[in-house]
Structure formats: structure tokens, C-alpha cells
Chains A and B, each alone.
Chain A
Amino acid sequence: MNYVILGAGPAGVTAAETLRAADPQASITLIGGEPEPPYSRMALPYLIYGKIDEGGTYLRQDETHYDQQRIRYLNGRCGGIDSSSKRLYLSGGEVLPYDKLLIATGANPIMPPIPGAHLEGVETCWTLEDARHILKLAEKGSPVVLVGAGFIGSIILEALYLRGCDITVVELAPRMVARMMDETAGGMLGRWCESKGVKVLTNTKVNSIASGADGEPRLSVGFSNGQSAPADLVVMAVGVRSNTGFLVGSGVQVNTGIVVDDYLQTTAPDIYAAGDCCEGVDLSTGKPDMLAIQPVAVEHGRIAALNMAGYSHRHRGSLNMNVLDTIGLISSSFGLWQGAQVGQTGKLVDEGGYKYMKLEFEGDKLVGAQCVGMTDHVGMLRGLIQTGFHMGEWKGKLLASPERLREAYISVAQGHPSTGPTAPHVNTPRAGLGVAAGSGH
């Protein structure tokens, strides 16, 4: 069997490794689009503020890992796919026949059509090469304009802050991380950043980028509010779109991302897709969506590979979740953080203390959550939402006291049923997800 994997991000690498484990005899080719070893984009911010060197961004640390796994790793960009003859054409002219193909080409950053966006000093923060540019331009004290305060923008914000840059962040939406958290949380993050000396401009657009005057910083950025700011560096982080342009004419159907079925197979035979480039099922809605996050990429990669290798694995859907460190203020969101259509909400807000917890229920199941300022045992939120435990009496308790989440998790998911006096005994799955505390009865 000859497997070709296009894209060497987390989805591609995980798929290659899964295939190797599932099919020891197969030929596996992994194609990366950049002249680098497979690395993690998520790690770039840590490179920018010096926590790690470039080697620290690599997905696998051992240089010989791919050789040891007998995974052929090569660089190249796809020029097209002929699904009827099962051939993949690299832009350099090389032709790769395949038995099964996985497309894991991820996403690319969107460059908004702003006048001056082509000028030197305007960067995205997406590739290792981008990071190298930023490292050159962002010195301690450098004025930097960050365009976009979404999830990715906010991660970059922290890296630039820790690098000592003088930051102005511009966001079109009325708040930071508008697609990850609500007004309360977004507002907290904004105030927090301002308290750290970051200028936060929400409801604001960048109208233009121009070269700065002599003796001034390289660039001058004009905003929709009429003001402007000087900048040694402008970082664009307004969003990403799936990287699928090369699929035109391949028979692989693309909407926002590549269309896949429950087995992560595309509309073309023997072609699968995984990660940011495809529309896998969102567990919370049951509908296809692009959930461009690391854990989903890995899940996709693994499940797609198992299906490619002949082990039928249905993808039930991935849980949307994010965790963000904004200059030390840590926030996270899970699932239907906006709330269910018909549901109930438990909420605690401590504006002064920068703490926020919001739990969303549908029936007696937890379906979504947002937290600001909470890190301990936060994964329990995933456990409860993803597994869909009936919370029983704990629903009422959590609506009143969301901070008791951990107790609720141990009781419900770990099979320590409550013997509380006021509520009826609840039937909970005894073994549940976990086992560490399972033998107490």
C-alpha cells in the first residue's frame, strides 16, 4: 500500500505515524510545504519571545524520527491532483502515484486588502520564516501594530508583549477573542491588556498602511477612528482560510473547507482530508465546521489514517475548545460557549479579580463553558461536555455555584455518586471516563 500525505502539520504527521503503526509494510510519503522539518505553528509565539529556539517548535524532536518510522519526508507544494489516475503533481514537476491520499494542507492567513499591506514590515505570523522576520523587526520598545485580536492575534500579542514591544492592537469586532468568548470575557481581556500598557482599539479598522516619514518608524498605520500610529512592524492576524486552491479540478469538493464524510473521506475516491483544511463534524452541533485547533488536527489525522488503513472508524465529531494566555491572564472556552438554543446558564463574574466562569447546559448536560482566570483541572470541562454525562442533581448545584465544577466532575464522571441529603440519588455511569478514584466503594 502506498500512502501519500500532503501536509506535514500535526494532522499529517499524526496520520503518517498512525499509518505506520497500522500498516507496518506500507510505503508512506509525507510532503511538507515549507523548507523546514515538520513544526508546530502553535509554538511560534514562544519562539518569538525567546522561550524556545527553532528546534523547540519541531513536532518531533528526534531528527531521525521519520527515517526510523520509514516515513519518507520531502518538501514540495502540490500543483494538482488527478483522482482518477491517483496521481499527485508537485509544483516542481514531480509526480507521485498513491493508493490512498490524505490532504492535510491546513490553512493560510488572510491578508486583508488594505492599502500598503504589501510594504516591508507588514508580516503575518504563520510560518517559521514569518517568525524570523518578526524577530528582526520587533525589538524591545519597538512600536508594533497588531491587526486582529482574535485567538491567534491574542497569542501573538502575548509574545510581542514579552518581547518588550510597544503594542497597539486593532480589532474590527467590538471585543477581543469575539469568536472564542463573550462580551464579559472579551471585555476582561481587553481591560487586562490595557492595564499592562497595551493599547486596545476595538470596533476599529485599519484603513491604510504607509511608509513613515524620515526619522520616524518605518510605517504609519491609519485607523478608522481617524487616528494613526507609527510602527516598526505590523502583524496581520485577521483570520485564516483553508489551503485548498490546488484542488480545483480534482473532484474533491470544497466549501469553506474540504467536504468530508464521517470517515473523513472526501468526495473523491481514496482521498481523505484532516485538520484545518477540512470541515470535520463539530461534536456540539453535529454539523461540519472548520475547527482549526491542534487537538482536532491530531484527532482527524489519527481517524483518517485508520480509515485509510482499512480500520473503519467513524468520526463522531470534535469538540471546539481553546485555551489562551493573554499576558498571564488565562482563559478557555469549550463547546457551545455561546449557550444552547434552549438551555440554562450558570455564571460567576468577578470583574475586579479578572475571574469569570460560565457554564452552559442543555437539559441536564453540560454543553459549553467559558473561563477566565481558572486553570486547575480545567480539562474536566472537556470531559463533561464531550462525554455528555447527565449531570443530574449537579446541574442545579452548578447553576448556583459554577465554581463547584471539580466536585461535580468527580461525582458524576468518576462514579462517586452523591449521597447528598436534599437530592434524589442519581444514576451515574459508574466507571465513566476515569478510573483513578474509582475503587472507593
Chain B
Amino acid sequence: MGWTGKILRVNLTNGTVQSEPLNMDWAQQYLGQRGLATKYLAEEVDAKCDPLGPDNKLIFATGPLTGTCASTGGRYSVITKGPLTNAIACSNSGGYFGAELKFAGWDMIILEGKSPKPIYLNIVDDKAELLDASDIWGTSVWNTDEWIKAKHQDPMIHVATIGVAGENGVLYSAIVNDLHRAAGRSGVGAVLGSKNVKAVSVRGTKGVKVRDGKAFLKATNEGKKVLAENAVTGSGLPTYGTQVLMNAINEAGAMPTRNSREVQFEGAHDISAEAMATPRSTDGEKNLQTNQACFACTIACGRISKIDEKHFTVVNKPQYWHSSGGLEYEAAWALGSNTGVNDLEALTYVNFICNEQGLDPISFGATVSAAMELFELGLLTTAQTDGIELKFGSAEALVKCVELTGKAEGFGKELGLGSARLCAKYGRPDLSMTVKGQEFPAYDARGIQGMGLTYATSNRGACHLRSYTVSSEMLGIPEKTDPLTTDGKPALVMAFQDATAAVDSAGLCVFTTFAWTLNDIAPQIDAAIPGDWTPEKMLEVGERIWNMERMFNHRAGFTAQDDQLPPRLMKEAAKTGPATGLVSGVDKMLPEYYQLRGWTADGVPTNETLSRLAV
């Protein structure tokens, strides 16, 4: 019912696979996917372990709605201890892989130990095998996908794989499924690589059942109607993708630019959704070819793009002349605004390479941005950068960097460490725009104050998807708050964090929450699984998950000191736009946030809180 009730446990050291029943008590407490897998990880893994060592485990987890007709019901998450942050990592992806895993009859895969040689895990329904990956080790995501499908003669296999970045230990390497959907953040790809696992391939022919089919159809149909009638999910996202935000955020003065020195990018329009949909002056074609849905998604925000064949990035490379995953807002920002590059085709190419080699474009772009600032300051020179003139605005430099980073060649090896380690190495740790070692994304904490607290308290390091207060502060969803003030933001952030944790544990995409509240989601979950799921119960589960994650990090050695934003955001005021003169007020918000959370002044959950939530 919703869950398949089965976990595939793979001991890579011994090369064994076994099926075990899902802990249904935990399933009621943690729902699925992010929450439930984190529970397993927290129970089974020492929080102090080396994330790239054999003691770390990596879990692929689906939610109870994954593989159902609930809109966006196709998500999976990868949960592990992250090498970029040394904190809990939970990276969420769409595409078709998650649903296929469910159709094969598994709620989760737990990978433990380390394989003595490169392998891939091939799953066909009940049958799971560790197979030799020596022919695909050292090859790209795209090659691996194709190779596995040919090897098993089945194009309906879905593959989640690392590229060479994950093999080479790039600390922000991704696990990419279905060619261009990714469990992108926190370096989950490097963990898979450290275990000598190239890929997981799945073909499922079993069914997913729900508790009450009739009620489920009613609830999911009502949900789809809400999505279709909402301006953001019904029109903005399908038409423009997440890139719908580029011009809006820029105008709001909340667009981190050139390593957050500025909050508006003069080239934003050149790399916006509108630019993607406008015929190019060079060849008359549009960058954007079509939109694509992930499994079960009735929004369809995915971008499928094609690069101008004459563009310098691909002019002699026909292997990049086809359509593939195009720019989402975060990638366009990280690769574009943040590096000062306004060349849409170059950004699209770099994004292709991030998919092909398995890199998180946010952390990659932000690391290049930090390196550009170091270069500008003379702390990095062409002697260190393999001759690359690492100047803000240089598309050529950006392109060279991406080509080197996945392969971990030369300067690419340093870029692969992420901006925190890079900036520390060159003596300016303050220039790393990170929290807990993870680069923050495309919203400036000065222009959208809630996002400062979001980044600071995100359990997986800086991230927009843990509490997307942009919804409220910019779009007025569910109600409008002022982006420039800190008032009420701790409560807002907390509410978003708890609700999002529940959504991430259900198998749904957080983008639904542009239109859905928990009142729309709870009936869908309740019809799928036993347990009387109400919005209140979802919030409670979300809060439980949040505190569990926090406790994992606490055990791993994180303290309130790690809830700080980089000094630039606290000291250098925004120079343009609506937020002119403002710095982040995160220091004002944190004490209130801790208090609302039921944590000590040092940011540690109190015993009362933990026992109230039964963590």
C-alpha cells in the first residue's frame, strides 16, 4: 500500500544482496524517502564517519507516492553523509528512475561497505545483481546510460549513475538519472564513487497499489486541478521553467552576482527564460526546444535545449548537437550571473557537461565564481589555473573550468574541492559563499531575508529547497511577506522547513507547493497509505525529520557556529535595487528560530523537544 514494504540491502564489500522488510513503525513516523531513509542512516551510520570511507552508507529511497498517478509522484532521494559538508546529505531527483525502482518492488536500496572493484547494481524486479562495470568506469553519464541499456537490450531500463566527477571524488559530484535529472547536491556522487559503484539500473514490471483507489483518484485529481489552475504551476513553470524567476529575482535585487559582490546582474535578461524561448540571431533557432515532465508530473517545468551548432563551445563537437536537459534557474544563475557570464549558449553547454560528467552546477558555478574573485585579487594566477584567464564574465574560462573539473585534471582538481576548501587554501575563507561547506544558491540573503535563515539552518548546508520562503516573500504563496524584513521570518522558515521535509518524504516534488498546501497533499497521502494522514500529522512528521537531521549533524560535530552566513552578507550592504543598504539579518533571526524550534541557545534540540517528537 503506497510503500512496497521491501528494502534491498546491498553489502558491497561482500558482494551480497538481500531483501528485508521495511520497518513499518518507522514508516508511520517518517513517511518515506527523505525522512525514512535518514532514520535508517541515523540508526546505522556513525555520524562521525568518513563520508568517503566504507563505513558510510548511501540510500536510494522512494516515497509512498512515488510510482503513483499523484502529480509529480516520481521522486526519489539519495541519503548519505555528504563529503562536501560532512553533514547529512539528502539529494532529491525526478525523472523516471524513482518510479521504476518502486515498480521493481523496492522502497529503498541501502548500499553499504565498498566494492573491491567497479560494479553496477542491476535490478530487474526481485532480481538484483552486482555486475562488472570495468567497461563503463571512466566514462560519462550519457555513455553509461546507453551502455547499460544496450548490454541488457532494454531501452526501458532507467539508470542512475555517476559520471567521471563522482569517480574522481569531486566533492559536489551528482548522481544523474535519465541523462539529465540529478540528485545533485552535497556530493552524493562522490560517495557512490568511493564505494566503486558506477550506477544503479532498474527495470520494474510490478505494480504499485494504494490503500483506497477510489479516494486516491479523487484526491489526486483534485490536486491536479489545483496545479492546472494555479498561475505558477499551470502556466509559468511549464512555459518558462524555473527560469521564470531570472528577471523577477534580478529586479528584486536578490540575484547574487559575481560571488555576491552585487545583487543584480546586468546580463540577466540575456540568460533568462525569455531569451531561451527567443530565436537566436545566429541561426534563428530557439535554445529551448520543448518542456519535459518528470514521471507523473502535470506541471512539466523541465527544459530541453539545443545549442547553436556554430557556437564556439560545440562547433566541432557534433556529440553535443542534440537536445538535452537545458538550464534551470539555479544553473543559469550559478553558471551565469554568479560568474558574470551572459552567454546563454555557453551556459547551456556547461550545463550539458555538468550532466554528462555528473557535477552539481550550483556548487560548480559558485566555486568558479569564488575562484574568479581570487584571480581578480591576484591570489590565484594563471600559473595555478593552467593558464586560464579566470576573469568574471569570461565564457571561455568557464567552459575550460568545467571540462577540467569533471576529469579532475590540473586546476580542475582544485575546483572540484568546492569553494570553501579552495578559498581556505588561498587564504580567503571569507570569500566562499557557503554554509556548512555547501555553496548557496540563487537568492541573495540581503534581498530576500528569509533565505538567509534558510541557508544558515539548512541541515544539508546552504540550500534553497529546505525552506523556499521565496514563495512567500516574492510570490505571496501562501501569503505575502516582506522580503526586506526579518520580522516573522523564523516562524516562516520553520513552517516551510517542516512542510517541505514532509513533502520530500512523500515522493512528491516541492514545486507542487507553489499551488498546494498540506491540505491538498494530506488527502493524497492518506488515500495511499494507512495511518490517518492529516496536515497536522504531516507537519509533525516534518518537524521530527528536521530535528533528526539536526541531531545527526550535532553528533557529527556541528554547532551553532556552523549556522553562520559568510561575512560578506553580514557586512557588505546591497548596492543596488530594492535591498540597497541592507545586509542579512540572520544574526537577529537565529535566536528566535532556535527558541521556536525548542532548541537551546546553542542550537541543540532540547530533551523535551526530542521526546515530544519521539526522535
A residues apposed to B, CB below 8 Å? 348, 350, 353, 355-357, 373-374, 376, 401-404, 406-407, 420-422
Contact = CB atoms under 8 A, between A and B. Distances in A.
Contact of B318 (A357, A407, A422): A422
Interface string B148-165: 011111111000000000
Given A376-B156, A421-B309, A403 B150 contact: yes
Residue of A356, A374, A402, A403 with most chain B CB atoms under a 10 A cut-off:
A403
Contact of A404 (B155, B318, B321, B322): B155
Interface in B175-230: none
Interface in B22-81: none
The 5 closest A-B pairs by CB, nearest first: A421-B321, A355-B153, A403-B153, A422-B318, A421-B322
Contacts of B153: 348, 350, 353, 355-357, 373-374, 402-403
Interface of B: 146, 149-156, 306, 309, 318, 321-322
B318 A421 contact: yes
A346 to B, nearest CB: 11
Contact of B149 (A374, A403, A421, A422): A403
Contacts of A404: 155
Nearest to B307: A421
A356 B152 CA distance: 9
B150 A353 contact: no
15 contacts: A348-B151, A350-B151, A350-B152, A353-B152, A355-B152, A355-B153, A355-B154, A373-B153, A374-B153, A401-B146, A403-B150, A421-B306, A421-B321, A422-B318, A422-B321
Q: Most B CB atoms within 10 A — which of A356, A373, A421?
A: A421
B305 to A, nearest CB: 13
A113 B504 CA distance: 73
Residue of A353, A356, A420, A422 most packed against chain B (CB within 10 A): A353
B101 to A, nearest CB: 19
Nearest to A373: B153
A401 B143 CA distance: 12
Contacts of A373: 153
Contacts of A406: 155
Contacts of B156: 376
A1 B321 CA distance: 66
B151 A420 contact: no
Contacts of A422: 318, 321-322
Contacts of B151: 348, 350
B321 A403 contact: no
A132 to B, nearest CB: 37
A189 to B, nearest CB: 16
Contact of A407 (B150, B155, B306, B322): B155
A353 B124 CA distance: 11
A406 B153 CA distance: 12
A423 B204 CA distance: 33
B155 A403 contact: yes
Given A421-B321, A422-B321, A348 B150 contact: yes
A274 to B, nearest CB: 37
Nearest to A423: B318
Contacts of B309: 421
Nearest to A374: B153
A402 B151 CA distance: 11
A403 B322 contact: no
A405 to B, nearest CB: 9
Contacts of A420: 322
Contacts of B146: 401
Contacts of B306: 421
Nearest to A356: B153
Given A353-B152, A355-B154, A406-B155, 19 more contacts: A348-B150, A348-B151, A350-B153, A353-B153, A356-B153, A357-B153, A401-B150, A402-B153, A403-B149, A403-B150, A403-B153, A403-B154, A403-B155, A407-B155, A420-B322, A421-B309, A421-B321, A421-B322, A422-B318
Contacts of B321: 421-422
A348 B153 CA distance: 7
A349 B431 CA distance: 54
A89 to B, nearest CB: 55
A422 B151 CA distance: 24
Nearest to B146: A401
A355 B152 CA distance: 7
Contacts of B155: 403-404, 406-407
A353 B122 CA distance: 11
Contacts of A374: 153-154
Contacts of B154: 355, 374, 403
A357 B149 CA distance: 13
A63 B156 CA distance: 44
A376 B318 CA distance: 32
Contacts of A348: 150-151, 153
A374 B150 CA distance: 13
Contacts of A353: 152-153
